[in-house]
Amino acid sequence: MARKIGSHSEITGPRVRQAALTLFARHGYAAVSMRQIAAEVGVQAGALYNYTADKQALLFDLMQTHMKDLLVALDACSDTGNALRRLETFSRFHIRYHLDRPDLVFIAYMELRNLSDENFAAVEALRGRYEARLRDILTQGIDERAFSVPDVKVASMAIIAMLTGITTWYREEGRLSRAEVEEIYWQMVRKAVSA
């Protein structure tokens, strides 16, 4: 049999990535088959290979694109005031950005070990650049005598772990609004690094 209706190169590609994203987030990369992804898109398994070299490339594309977008978005909203102000901007940005993309965030943190060595290195480098932005802020805060942080590297990882953890429990229909969650976490971060 021929194609169903016509060609869909511009539309099927994004739908493949979207289906992979949803399924990887829900069941995990290793537990999802190419057939499941194809079924979600509404095509046969073979057709997927017009859009990705293989399953690994699908995962890598999702993670790399996410990390690059994250860095661009952070730089677009970063300001240049004092460290406390910059930390607040970073914290609120991180929470909002991650709550808006729970599936991407989940994959980016959970599927690192399913990347090939080469792909892992590329994603890890991008993660390092993101963390470095926070380390810069903490270092500035120490210079300004505004923060008291025993170890900048450890503190940056602790803060990111705390903030990212929100995505493991936050539900849109839950008790708290995004704004309330943002406020609660920002206050905890602020106090945790305070002098």
Partner DNA sequence: GTCTATAAGAGGATAGAC
Partner DNA sequence: GTCTATCCTCTTATAGAC
Residues that bind its own copies (CB under 8 A): 26-31, 110, 113-114, 150-151, 154-155, 157-162, 164-166, 168-169, 176, 181, 183-185, 187-189, 191-194
Report which secondary-structure segment, H or E, holds 169. Answer: helix 166-169
| 35 contributes a contact to DNA by CB under 7 A | yes
77 binds, among its own copies, DNA, none (CB under 5 to 8 A by kind): none
Contact 92, 194 (CB under 8 A): no
Chain residues 45-64 in contact with DNA, contact rule CB under 7 A:
45-47, 49-51, 54-56
Residue 151 identity (one-letter amino acid):
D
CA-wise closest residue to 51 among 97, 26, 18, 78: 18
Among 33, 148, 187, 194, binds DNA (CB under 7 A): 33
| 4 contributes a contact to DNA by CB under 7 A | yes
Angstrom distance (rounded) from CA 194 to CA 165: 21
Question: Beta-carbon neighbour count of residue 164 at 10 Å?
Answer: 16
| 2 contributes a contact to DNA by CB under 7 A | yes
Angstrom distance (rounded) from CA 75 to CA 46: 40
194 binds, among DNA, its own copies, none (CB under 5 to 8 A by kind): its own copies
Residues that bind DNA (CB under 7 A): 1-4, 7-9, 12, 32-36, 38, 42-47, 49-51, 54-56
